[in-house]
Structure 1
Amino acid sequence: MKPLDPRLVRRSRAVRRYLAASVAVGVATAVVVVAQAALLAWLIARGFEGRSATAALLTGVALCFTARAGLAWVHALLSERASVAVKSGLRDEVTAAVLDPRRVGDRPEASRVVGLLGPGLDALDPYFGKFLPQLVLTALVPATVVVAIATTDLLAAVTVAITLPLVVMFLVLVGKLTRDKVDRRYEALQRLGAHFGDVLDGLRVLKVHGRRQDAGLRKVGDQHRRESVKALRMAFLSGFVLELFSTICVALVAVSIGLRVVEGHMDLAPGLFVLLLAPEAFLPVRQMGAHFHASQEGVGAAADALDLLEYDRADGTATVPSVAGAPVVLDAVGVTRDGRDVPVLAPVTATIEPGSFVALTGPSGSGKSTLLDVLLGFLRPTTGRVMVGGVDLAGADPAAWRRQVAWVPQVPGLLRDSVAANVRLGAGDASDDDVARALADAGAPDLPLDRVLEDQGRDLSAGERRRVGIARALLAVRRGDARLVLMDEPTAGLDAAAEATVLRSLRDLGATVVVVAHHRDVVAAADTTIAVGGRQEVTVR
């Protein structure tokens, strides 16, 4: 894991501005450090020689201390602002990437996104506030100090130049040992969030079956605690060893200077100048090592966010003809996922005529829902292509294409809003009469339009949620631009009367309808049946 991900520099203007300002502050800090050491050395040497300090010398020392404190404050302020700007920018970019209508491929797990947008990116605070400033100072101050020492004592400069890389090499080794522990801690945090989210989602089922989850949560929480303690233990031990090694290196310089001053081979003022500068060469490295562990979680969070921003994107701009007058041709469409020997969707070849009612049949896991994802443009087929009126769907504008599509998944997404508002997602300008008619044709005439639903419609039954989703699709065709209806087991959980009402409404809709079907009545109502999985056969009824 790199101390500074190049992708972050390329994507974030705030990072580039911060790095430029940090370099300027670092150069100024290096100059002030050298000036401070020189003035202090002269001041102390004059005291030993019995001479009084001049006002100019005292003023210079005071100005150096003030300037150094001011530069540290400016650096901290720049770091805080950069952290806020980068976190805000990454959150906006990740949100936009997840919601990008042109995104192709699997959507990231909700728990991963929620954990990253919440506490995950907050870990950038110590990264920008402590580690990166020290990284910049480590790149500038030691080199300046070594050059300044070399102008006074070449032997001391050589000693520092030899021992300083050894400290840096030790820091790199510590970083490699720590990386795995910090990665495991971050993974444990994500696992804890995902497990807690799963428990909340399935709480009702768990309670019905008498399954207590406190032991599972405690186990996952303890694992996160153990990984955190391991990372802290490594941080403390490595910090101690780093301080010890740096102190020994400074002592080598101090012994050499002390012996030569005592023996009269070096004046006191130059000796003090070197002694005061030697620790300054190691200080940025030591502080960078101290802040390294706290920053690694932020580095991991930034890398995770940047990984989410790198995805396959549909860049097509072609206009797809209206499905109302153009057939949808599946030309050996298949999907294979990495790491799986068996294709998720075996190649399917079929023609879906305009206005037809098509049933996708096949055993569970044969790829019927995957085929719907391909038709929606959420997945790019590994083999074959989808043609609409002679236009390859891979080169089409996905947003424009989806305006022609009404989709009813197995679990329709519902908002915390009224029933009418949820149905109107299919057509925002629909009247209450249009909404009421769509609900009636979906087998839900008794659902009040003004009833406010809970999140995801938790206060509705599974069948009622599906009927709201079906009503939304019907409205999208009647009052919107949709001419192709894709449904994933829409009548599951409906009684026979409601199923008959839905099938009759779909038959009378006048749009092209593709339904994943397991019920015999749904298959019987279809004009065309496409068998998915194994040998592909298309039957025209």
Structure 2
Amino acid sequence: MAPLDPRLVRRSRGVRRLLGASVALGLATAGLVIAVAYVVAQVVAHRFDGEPVAALVAAIAAGLGVRAFVTWCHTTVSARAAATVKAELREEVVDDLLDPRRLGPRPSSSRVVALLGPGLDAFDGYIGRFLPQIVLTGLVPPLVLLAVASADLLSAIVLAVTLPLVIVFLVLVGMVTKDRIDRRWQALERLGAHFADVLDGLTVLKVFGRRQEQGLREVGERHRRETVRALGLAFLSSFVLELFSTLSVALVAVSVGLRVVEGDLELEPALFVLLLAPEAFAPIKRLGAMFHDSTAGAEATAELLNLLDHDRHTGTGPAPDLRTAEIVLDGIVVRRDGRAVPGLDLAHTRIRPGEFIAVTGPSGCGKSTLLSLLMAFERPTTGYVLVDDVDLSSIDPVAWREQIAWVPQVPGLVPGTIEDNVRLGDVAASREDVAAALRDAGAADLPLDRVVDESGDDVSAGERRRIAVARAVLRVRRGSARLVLLDEPTAGLDASREAAVLATLRSLGVTVVVVAHRPETIAAADRELRLASRMVLA
């Protein structure tokens, strides 16, 4: 895991500004360290000679004050940059998830919550402290080494030999730590996913008397153990790093001290070297101490950038009119990462205008993937989706979806009334239009003014689906939708309501593609598209 992902630099203006400011402030810090050490060495040497040093002491005080001010500026700039970068990434992730040109499956809600919550909270240590310290580590030791070389070449050689050893040890610590941090992050993700699953099914779990305290306790304990192990490794590595740097400075001090006693080195350059030698190692030690605090932020950064790093639609062409356009799926194969078997394998099929097609097949054969392709949420790995001989990838996805009414397996709801949720299909629809759509969807018993929650806990699964079907019917009746895609719309409905929904779908006069398991839905269709390990058209 690289200390700084280049993708973060390209995406974030806040990081670029921080790195620029860190370079300027790092150069100022290195200059002040060298200047203060030089003046302190002069003060001690002049006092041994009995010369006045009042002006030099004032210069030391001024130098220390300026250095403290530069350090405060660096800390302030870094803290503000961390807050800015977090805000930028949060906004970018939200915009990306809502981007109509986004391709590929959406991440799970638990993963997004873990990244935008604890993940971005770790940016305070990563962006605010670790990245600026990387810049200081890259600037201060080389400049200090040059200053030492100007005063005593032998001491500079000793530092030049020992500094890389400390850096190599720091790299080795990072390689060992990565495994621990990966385990800790995975434990945190498991904890978040487990907690989200418990919350989603809390009502059912309570009804059946299933208690989840033990499961949450075990997952939390696993996260605690991984955190304690990472902390133990951090303390141990900091001790070893401190030991190596101390021994290296001791080598310089012994060499300088012996040569001063023998008269081979003047007092002033000797003091200058002794004061600068620890400063050459100080940035590296601070970097090592901050490394463990930053690894969670670096891991979250990689996860966020991976989430944002995906293909997007580039099509800008107009969408053909789906009242007359024929859709052809030719040689479609959709492959998933980590799966040997394709998620969808379809040799050839046509969807003609006005057809009612039931898509069937065993679980995992690609029925929902087929709807995702038709919605332009995904692009086939190989093959083409053609609309009147126009590749779907060249069509503007927004214009394409304006002609589609979509009912997913778990339809979404918004806080408000049932009328508000149905009117999402067409905000300009009248109350009478909404009532007619509900009636056609077998939901005439649902009051328009009934308030529903975004979670949908106050409606049954069947009521949720009927609301979504009414939303789709409203779009078709209002003339905006010409293709209806439904994923098991009659699941959870009784026979009479299922018959009402199917009758309405057949009467719409537009193309309907429905994922179906129930024989009644398959029988109502014009034809069946059965998906298997190799697709065959019934």
Give the TM-score normalised by structure 2: 0.97
Q: Is the 8 A contact 2:440 2:504 kept in 1?
A: yes
The residue aligned with 1:493 is 492
The residue aligned with 2:388 is 389
The residue aligned with 1:378 is 377
Q: Is the 8 A contact 1:423 1:469 kept in 2?
A: yes
- 3-state SS of the aligned residue for 2:145? helix
Describe the shift of the 1:537–1:120 C-alpha distance in structure 2 as closer, same or farther (beyond 3 A): closer
Q: Is the 8 A contact 1:320 1:389 kept in 2?
A: no
Q: Is the 8 A contact 2:329 2:346 kept in 1?
A: no
Q: Which amino acid aligns with 1:3?
A: P
The residue aligned with 2:480 is 481
Describe the shift of the 1:151–1:535 C-alpha distance in structure 2 as closer, same or farther (beyond 3 A): closer
Q: Is the 8 A contact 2:406 2:485 kept in 1?
A: yes
Whether 1:41 and 2:25 are equivalent positions in the alignment is no
Distance between the aligned counterparts of 1:455 and 1:25, measured in 2? 49
The residue aligned with 2:452 is 453
Distance between the aligned counterparts of 1:68 and 1:170, measured in 2? 29
Whether 1:326 and 2:325 are equivalent positions in the alignment is yes
The residue aligned with 2:31 is 31
The residue aligned with 2:132 is 133
| Offset at residue 480 of structure 1 (A) | 4.8
Describe the shift of the 1:66–1:522 C-alpha distance in structure 2 as closer, same or farther (beyond 3 A): same
- 3-state SS of the aligned residue for 1:104? coil
The residue aligned with 1:439 is 438
Q: How does 1:105-504 map to 2 (within 5 A)?
A: 105-504=104-503
Distance between the aligned counterparts of 1:154 and 1:343, measured in 2? 65
Runs (5+) with no aligned partner, structure 2: none
Q: Matched residue pairs, number? A: 538
Deviations for 1:279-330, whole angstroms, at most 9, x for unmatched residues?
1111111111111110111111111111111102121122221111112222
Distance between the aligned counterparts of 1:537 and 1:83, measured in 2? 55
Q: How much identity, in percent, do the aligned residues show? A: 60
The residue aligned with 2:522 is 523
Deviations for 1:144-168, whole angstroms, at most 9, x for unmatched residues?
1111111111111111111111111
Give the TM-score normalised by structure 1: 0.96
The residue aligned with 1:51 is 51
Distance between the aligned counterparts of 1:536 and 1:157, measured in 2? 73
Deviations for 1:437-474, whole angstroms, at most 9, x for unmatched residues?
11111111121212221223111111100100000000
Root mean square deviation, CA, Å: 1.6
Q: Is the 8 A contact 2:346 2:534 kept in 1?
A: no
- 3-state SS of the aligned residue for 2:151? coil
The residue aligned with 1:99 is 98
Describe the shift of the 1:35–1:338 C-alpha distance in structure 2 as closer, same or farther (beyond 3 A): closer
Distance between the aligned counterparts of 2:534 and 2:37, measured in 1? 83
Distance between the aligned counterparts of 1:348 and 1:363, measured in 2? 18
| Offset at residue 536 of structure 1 (A) | 4.7
- 3-state SS of the aligned residue for 1:117? helix
| Offset at residue 346 of structure 1 (A) | 2.9
- 3-state SS of the aligned residue for 1:455? coil
Distance between the aligned counterparts of 2:110 and 2:333, measured in 1? 29
| Offset at residue 538 of structure 1 (A) | 4.1
Deviations for 1:94-122, whole angstroms, at most 9, x for unmatched residues?
11222221122221121111111112011
Q: Is the 8 A contact 1:406 1:486 kept in 2?
A: yes
Q: Which amino acid aligns with 2:120?
A: L
- 3-state SS of the aligned residue for 1:380? coil
Describe the shift of the 1:436–1:229 C-alpha distance in structure 2 as closer, same or farther (beyond 3 A): same
Q: Is the 8 A contact 1:97 1:308 kept in 2?
A: no
Q: Which amino acid aligns with 1:109?
A: S
Q: Is the 8 A contact 1:171 1:242 kept in 2?
A: yes
| Offset at residue 129 of structure 1 (A) | 2.3
The residue aligned with 2:13 is 13
| Offset at residue 273 of structure 1 (A) | 1.1
Runs (5+) with no aligned partner, structure 1: none
| Offset at residue 269 of structure 1 (A) | 1.7
Q: Is the 8 A contact 1:426 1:480 kept in 2?
A: no
Distance between the aligned counterparts of 2:452 and 2:442, measured in 1? 18
Distance between the aligned counterparts of 1:231 and 1:114, measured in 2? 23
| Offset at residue 537 of structure 1 (A) | 4.8
Distance between the aligned counterparts of 1:129 and 1:532, measured in 2? 52
Deviations for 1:239-290, whole angstroms, at most 9, x for unmatched residues?
0111111111111111111122222222222211111111111111111111
Range with bigger deviation, 73-82 or 387-396: 387-396
Whether 1:510 and 2:509 are equivalent positions in the alignment is yes
